[in-house]
Structure 1
Amino acid sequence: MGHGGNVIQELTADHREVDELFAQIETHTAADSRRRELADQLTIELVRHSVAEEEHLYPAVRRYVDGGDDLADKEIADHSEVERLLKDLESCEPGDAQFDILIGQLKSSVTEHVRDEEDRLFRLLAGACPPEALGELGEKVRQAKETAPTRPHPAAPDTPPLNKLLAPGTGMVDRVRDMLTGRGKQD
């Protein structure tokens, strides 16, 4: 997940990738093992995206946007809900009834969160933040996604400075686990 452009362009492209993963999951039957692979890929993308937003987007919102603290706090709360759902999804098999319930809840939560970011938060940030700062944030977000965790860690800190200190180490452990298990490999 690295697309280029400023922070808004980068994160919007991530949103479209997540939409596509939900659509792919929905095209497979409950018995299809490909659903587990797609759910794992969805988890990886959502966790990396959330960590990058928490490290760089929301501090910028707090800095540049009037009322930014409340906006950032709401978005972080949304992330916490998504992360709890992702953690529950980890233990489900695609044939379990709970798998479909969790995917539905996850899609609903993520869709609402994305709509709020794209319709409100991004517009406010674009109007308040200098274009060069938006560009720098885009690069920081791309770098953060490369070292971010790939698995949900609901108890991990989600605000600076602890999130920036712990995420790279947690991300390294997650990527080693993924490598050893083959999780997240795309054919």
Structure 2
Amino acid sequence: MNRPATGIRLAAGNEACEETTMTNTIDPDVVDILTADHRDVTALIGEIWTITDPMMRRDLTDTAISELVRHAVAEEMHVYPAMRKHLPDGEKSVEHDVEEHKELEELMKRLEDVDVSSPEFDEALRKLEAVLADHVQDEESGQFPELRRHIPREELVELAGKVETAKRLAPTRPHPSAPNSELFHKLAGPGVGLVDRLRDKLTGRATK
């Protein structure tokens, strides 16, 4: 009498396993990619605060800057146009985000230029951390859910691929004086990125 019920439970268990496997192998969408970037950069900044060795601190800072610059460029190339097109308040959100990107670039430039053991470095890092936290909060609590609400999943997965490609070609150093525009990044960004990577290699600058 109990055997059929056991068979049903086993079948249900197998279905659950299959669903879990499918979920684990599903392609990440652009929100997954950008959220992971946020976690990585935030963790790097947190680690910088725990390090006192100047060389290690500089390497971690350069890596964090590189990751954040590439993330920002990829957003401006591909994510912000999608926000403008699909989100009800997309234009306003993009304007706000671009301004925060400019502020972050200026702070990253300061971090590049000052001694990692100086009070000026700590001040700039603290400010960067605060601006980044606000930026992440805006995106993850408001804009990212809206992207998933208004854009089909297959398009978000395609957008993830474009973002990853853009990150591989993007600059690795902050360029506060450069235009923060989709057109500039698509036309000049790869060239700027190539120069940055050459400089990184020649100077031994730490980047991923």
TM-score range for the pair, normalised by the shorter chain length:
over 0.9
Give the structure 1 partner of residue 88 of structure 2.
66
Larger Rg: 2
- Which of the residues 51, 66, 90 maps onto 1:28? 51
Equivalences for 1:141-152 in 2 at 5 Å?
Answer: 141-152=163-174
Separation in structure 2 between the aligned mates of residue 158 and residue 130 of structure 1, nearest angstrom: 27
Q: Are the equivalent residues in 1 in contact too, given 2:98–2:180 (CA < 8 A)?
A: yes
Letter in 1 for 2:204: G
- Which of the residues 132, 135, 143 maps onto 2:154? 132
Cα pair distance change 1:51/1:185, threshold 3 Å? closer
Q: Are the equivalent residues in 1 in contact too, given 2:62–2:207 (CA < 8 A)?
A: no
- The secondary structure found in structure 2 opposite 1:93 is coil
- The secondary structure found in structure 1 opposite 2:179 is coil
- Which of the residues 19, 32, 37 maps onto 2:42? 19
TM-score (norm. length: structure 1): 0.94
- Which of the residues 177, 190, 199 maps onto 1:177? 199
User: How many pairs were matched up?
Assistant: 182
Q: Are the equivalent residues in 1 in contact too, given 2:169–2:193 (CA < 8 A)?
A: yes
* Structure 2 residue 180 is matched with structure 1 residue 158: yes
Separation in structure 2 between the aligned mates of residue 126 and residue 90 of structure 1, nearest angstrom: 36
Q: Provide runs of 4+ in structure 1 moved above 2 Å.
A: none
Any gaps of 5 or more consecutive residues in structure 2?
1-26
Separation in structure 2 between the aligned mates of residue 77 and residue 35 of structure 1, nearest angstrom: 27
- Which of the residues 136, 139, 155 maps onto 1:114? 136
Deviations 1:71-109 (A, max 9, x none): 111111110000010111111111111000000000000
Q: Are the equivalent residues in 2 in contact too, given 1:52–1:148 (CA < 8 A)?
A: yes
RMSD: 1.2
- Give 1:63 shift: 0.6
* Structure 2 residue 189 is matched with structure 1 residue 167: yes
- Give 1:33 shift: 2.2
Q: Are the equivalent residues in 2 in contact too, given 1:149–1:175 (CA < 8 A)?
A: yes
- The secondary structure found in structure 2 opposite 1:33 is helix
Separation in structure 2 between the aligned mates of residue 57 and residue 94 of structure 1, nearest angstrom: 33
Separation in structure 1 between the aligned mates of residue 136 and residue 207 of structure 2, nearest angstrom: 26
TM-score (norm. length: structure 2): 0.85
- Give 1:28 shift: 1.0
Which has a greater percent of helix? Answer: 2
Cα pair distance change 1:139/1:185, threshold 3 Å? closer
- Identity, in percent, stands at 44
Q: Are the equivalent residues in 2 in contact too, given 1:148–1:168 (CA < 8 A)?
A: yes
Give the structure 2 partner of residue 103 of structure 1.
125
